[in-house]
Chains A and B, each alone.
Chain A
Amino acid sequence: MQQVQEDEDQQLEENEAAEAVRRKVWTWKELFDQWRRFNIDLAPKLMFCRGAMVDLLVQSRISRYAEFKAVSRLLTVLGGKLEYVPCSRSDVFSSRYVSMLEKRMLMKLIEFVLHYQDRADDYEGYKDKPFSEFLQKRKLTSTLQHFVIHSIAMVSANTPTEEALQAMQYFLKSLGRYGNTAFLWTLYGSGELPQCFCRMSAVFGGIYMLRTTADYLIVDDTNVCRGMIDSEGRRLTCKNVIMDHSYTTTHHEGIHSDRFVSRAVLITDKTVRESENEEVTFLTIPPPKPAEEPVRVLEIGHTACASPKGTYVVHLTRKSSSPDAKTDLMPAVELLCQSLEAELDYSCEKPKVLWSMFFSYQDKSDMSLEDLRAGQPGGVHVTGGPGCSVGYEHAVKQAKQIFEQICPGEEFLPPAPNPEDIIYDEPSGDNPGHSNKAGFEDNCSDELKPEESRSGNGHQFSEQEVHKCEDEGGDDSPTPEAAENVGKESSTKDENQTETVLVESISKECPQGGQEE
């Protein structure tokens, strides 16, 4: 007996030793040498598989510029431990944390929510009452309520029932389209999406300027914006400027001035919960009290192209009423990881934080466009920033609204032609460009063809616009809101007759001068 005990002890020691060998201790230099492999988003977001952003990317064919990965697991904190959230039918039936009875209850609820609009009687009296009361009435156990409120509907216990049902339905409808969870992650990060929109914009003549910021607006004496001056001192002529509220000097007296998003970014040496697979993890840490805010956690590793092998990037996001991210998020960091201050503890399974960053930003995502642009010169459009929503629903809605203001009646991001479908006509003459429809033909640099450079009757997206600000005013704003550009650029397309067949068919939707008076 004694012998057995000793053997066991020895075994344990050996295991610990082996563990110590297995667990890599990262040095700052090793991390730094791999800097290129880190892709860290300031405002990471997920796409609902059947959400507005996916629809937009597919419809416009911008999706071809990016690759995605399904979020592979949803976790929540239950009794101080990280547990899987059962969200699909198969999850529900295989879940260990849900009893037979609960499984039936949850399945019935899911069936109901998918068709709740047709079954108004079932929630009539609860429409505006807290969601938790409705779930109580359906006799959901507290475990189930926890899953449903925090991880599936992603609302709070006090959210009005109808609103919560809508949110839950949105989630459920996104299941099973691309994977087992409702979400997609953009490989290399959310920062890929603006690049994809920029590429599409560029293909149709839009210009983006990396490493350049807008420093000043040029405003005429009727308080209408006529252009801007960039960080290189160049004047850019434009009729519209779209910018984030953080660029404005107005402070929107009193409106949402106490709304912030608290953020933390951690680089860790292992996942928050061991798994056989490389996971893309979305975790909700419910608030300690119902009135407080949950912390949403996204953990991505090298298969999501966020970090080098053996490391993970962990994003924490929480709504807040003060710009104090560390206070807001430290409890969550300590729940998930080993102490920030202490050395690596080999006996502890939790990840070790190798690097961390805390920051806050103002959340004006709920403000209307009218409130946001109050006090701005004409032609200036102000966006509310990323906020702390999980998905891009609000961003897409706001982009469409602004597009509608600038290009009333135009189609928002129509499908681009497939490059493989573009047919180049062999020109009949030697110089296909020498038709009297100049269009883009003269779009060359000053040094090449100065005398011809402004003879075109169409818009010219050339350097002239950048250096001189004369009559014409190419309305190119170097903002990431590429959406605006796409419609605009195509408005000049009918000149470009010899170029393509398909491009033309699109261009006709945007008549020449959609932008002009």
Chain B
Amino acid sequence: MSQQKPNMAEKREHLYKVLVIGDLGVGKTSVIKRYVHQFFSQHYRATIGVDFALKVINWDSDTLIRLQLWDIAGQERFGNMTRVYYKEAVGCFIVFDVTRVSTFEAVSKWKNDLDAKVQLPDGSKIPCVLLANKCDQSKEGLVNNSSQMDEYCKDKGFIGWYETSAKENINIDEAARFLVSSILDNDKAASHDDREQDNDKLALDSTESGEGRGKGSCC
């Protein structure tokens, strides 16, 4: 799909920040790597040095989406994130490991932390998709019963859930597509409101990047 390059004149670009959270070792980084870089590593590797991964999606002939997938960077150990990590996110994946029930039990804790620290500009909750990862392995708990999972998601405010496997490349693209379409819907709805745009906000690096990079970056 990335081959198609129609008239670029009308192409709209969107930049979306999407969070990937969940307990230690559930496969968050594997999911990101599978989705963004199309590879999977069996070996566990803690996430160091990665702020976010970028996925560019040619959504349709006139929409280009740049998806920033924000890695939790090892902060899941204590189940609490600062607001800076969450802020301005427009979508979220919460991941658990189907082989470990404790990671599923933590899901609602993550969802609460998320909803407490970030909302869409209109005050509503950001769309969140639940990923039951490692579904190529034997499942434990509620995830064996899909109607109960549907119920659970409705109850906790997830827009949907997917059984995924980063290893076998199952459902990851589907889950992402589902989340992105929800983000796009929200975005369309929001741009119809005459939402206040604050043009006085400053981002220091964009105005001063020349100064910033010139210093000490050569080594």
Contact = CB atoms under 8 A, between A and B. Distances in A.
Q: Answer yes or no: are A and B bound together in one complex.
A: yes
B182 interface: no
Interface stretch (B75-83, B143-151, B157-165): B75-83
B-side interface size class: 35 or more
A69 B42 CA distance: 45
Contact of B49 (A58, A204, A411, A447): A204
Interface string A406-430: 0000010011110110101011001
A207 B216 CA distance: 26
B46 A419 contact: no
Contact of B43 (A54, A57, A424, A433): A433
A210 B212 contact: no
A487 to B, nearest CB: 13
B82 A205 contact: no
A57 B37 CA distance: 30
Q: Which among A58, A184, A449 has the highest number of chain B CB atoms within 10 Å?
A: A58
Contact of A211 (B41, B42, B80): B80
A70 interface: yes
A123 B21 CA distance: 61
Interface stretch (B124-132, B172-180, B199-207): B199-207
Interface in A60-88: 61, 63-70, 72
Contact of A202 (B73, B100, B204, B212): B73
Nearest to A423: B37
Contact of A419 (B45, B50, B74, B75): B50
Tell me the interface secondary structure of chain B in the complex. Answer: loop
Interface stretch (A102-110, A143-151, A191-199): A191-199
Contacts of B100: 447
Interface in B168-219: 198, 200-205, 207-208, 211-213, 215-217, 219
Interface extent on A, as a size class? 35 or more
A282 interface: no
B39 to A, nearest CB: 6
Contacts of A463: 24, 77
A199 B41 contact: no
Interface string A473-517: 000000000000000010001001001100101101100000000
A64 B203 contact: yes
B45 A178 contact: no
Q: Is the interface of A mostly helix, strand, loop or mixed?
A: loop
B28 to A, nearest CB: 13
B8 interface: no
Interface in B77-126: 77-78, 80-85, 87, 100
Interface in A32-71: 54, 57-59, 61, 63-70
Interface string A186-221: 011000100110110011110111111000000000
Given A188-B83, A212-B78, A58 B41 contact: no
Contacts of A210: 78, 80-82
Contacts of A505: 219
A293 B44 CA distance: 59
A414 B51 CA distance: 16
B216 A59 contact: yes
A67 B200 CA distance: 10
B216 to A, nearest CB: 6
Contacts of B153: none
A444 B208 contact: no
A441 B49 contact: no
A205 B212 contact: no
A411 B218 CA distance: 13
Contact of B211 (A58, A179, A449): A58
A67 B137 CA distance: 43
A323 to B, nearest CB: 31
Given A207-B74, A210-B78, A461-B46, A70 B202 contact: yes
Contacts of B33: 424
Interface in A360-389: none
A158 interface: no
Contacts of A466: 77
B49 A503 contact: yes
A310 to B, nearest CB: 14
Contact of B219 (A212, A489, A506): A506
8 nearest interchain CB pairs? A433-B43, A443-B46, A63-B204, A195-B84, A210-B80, A58-B212, A195-B82, A419-B51
Given A202-B75, A417-B49, A445-B25, 6 more contacts: A59-B216, A68-B201, A203-B50, A205-B48, A422-B49, A444-B25
Interface of B: 24-25, 33, 36-37, 39, 41-46, 48-54, 68, 71, 73-75, 77-78, 80-85, 87, 100, 198, 200-205, 207-208, 211-213, 215-217, 219
